[in-house]
């Protein structure tokens, strides 16, 4: 291949990336809408661009698949990979926490108030000790901000770690 031919290939790749960048933004915004507010949409877009670049590099028109569906799949996969990398909570813990939350919501509707652990245990048909463990696991899913107070009048956790409070 000549240098000119390689430059044309690189230019075409750049054109595809530029043309499909709005698709990356759209997918990232749609996914961000279903995530906690602490997830930065720009981070999702960055991960999506990586997926788009991979799609451009790996796309094989000989397979008979249109580029856009292929790119969507790669973009979404790259964003999900980035989200998984951010998530330090094991999948089983997250699933159990979701089960607990579903039970609590159902009981709240049924009882007209927040259920106590004993009621959740009866609903899930598990020992109350397991409910307490699930509650602990669920609370561990929430990351602690090191630069924001835990509550009104509370010290900033980083100050405690750094020795700012005795």
**Residue pLDDT, tens place only, 31-71:** 998 887 778 899 999 999 999 999 999 999 899 999 999 99
Q: What are the domain boundaries of the chain?
A: 3-86, 91-143
User: How confident is the model over 104-147, as pLDDT tens digits?
Assistant: 999 999 999 999 999 999 999 999 999 988 888 766 655 544 45
Q: Which CATH architecture has domain 91-143?
A: Orthogonal Bundle (1.10)
Q: What pTM was estimated for this model as a whole?
A: 0.56
User: How confident is the model over 80-98, as pLDDT tens digits?
Assistant: 999 888 766 677 877 888 8
- 3 state SS for the chain: CCHHHHHHHHHHHHHHHHHHHHHHHHHHHHHHCCCCCCCCHHHHHHHHHHHHHHHHHHCCHHHCCCHHHHHHHHHHHHHHHHHHHHCCCCHHHHHHHHHHHHHHHHHHHHHCCCCCHHHHHHHHCCCHHHHHHHHHHHHHCCCCCCCCCCCCCCCCHHHHHCCCCC
Stronger pLDDT, 118 or 7, i.e. the higher one = 118
Fold of 3-86: Rna Polymerase Sigma Factor; Chain: A (1.10.1740)
């Amino acid at each position: 291949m000549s240098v000119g031919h390689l430059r044309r290939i690189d230019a075409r790749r750049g054109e595809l990336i530029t043309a499909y960048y709005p698709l990356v933004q759209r997918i990232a915004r749609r996914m961000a809408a279903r995530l906690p507010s602490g997830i930065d949409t720009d981070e999702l877009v960055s991960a999506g661009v990586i997926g788009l670049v991979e799609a451009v590099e790996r796309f094989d028109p000989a397979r008979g698949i249109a580029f856009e569906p292929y790119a969507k799949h790669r973009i979404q996969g790259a964003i999900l990979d980035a989200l998984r990398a951010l998530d330090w909570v094991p999948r089983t813990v997250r699933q159990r926490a979701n089960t607990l939350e579903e039970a609590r919501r159902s009981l709240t509707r049924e009882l007209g108030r927040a259920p106590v652990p004993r009621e959740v245990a009866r609903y899930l048909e598990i020992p109350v000790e397991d409910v307490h463990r699930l509650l602990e696991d669920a609370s561990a899913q929430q990351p602690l901000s090191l630069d924001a107070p835990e509550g009104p009048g509370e010290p900033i956790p980083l100050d405690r770690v750094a020795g700012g409070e005795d």
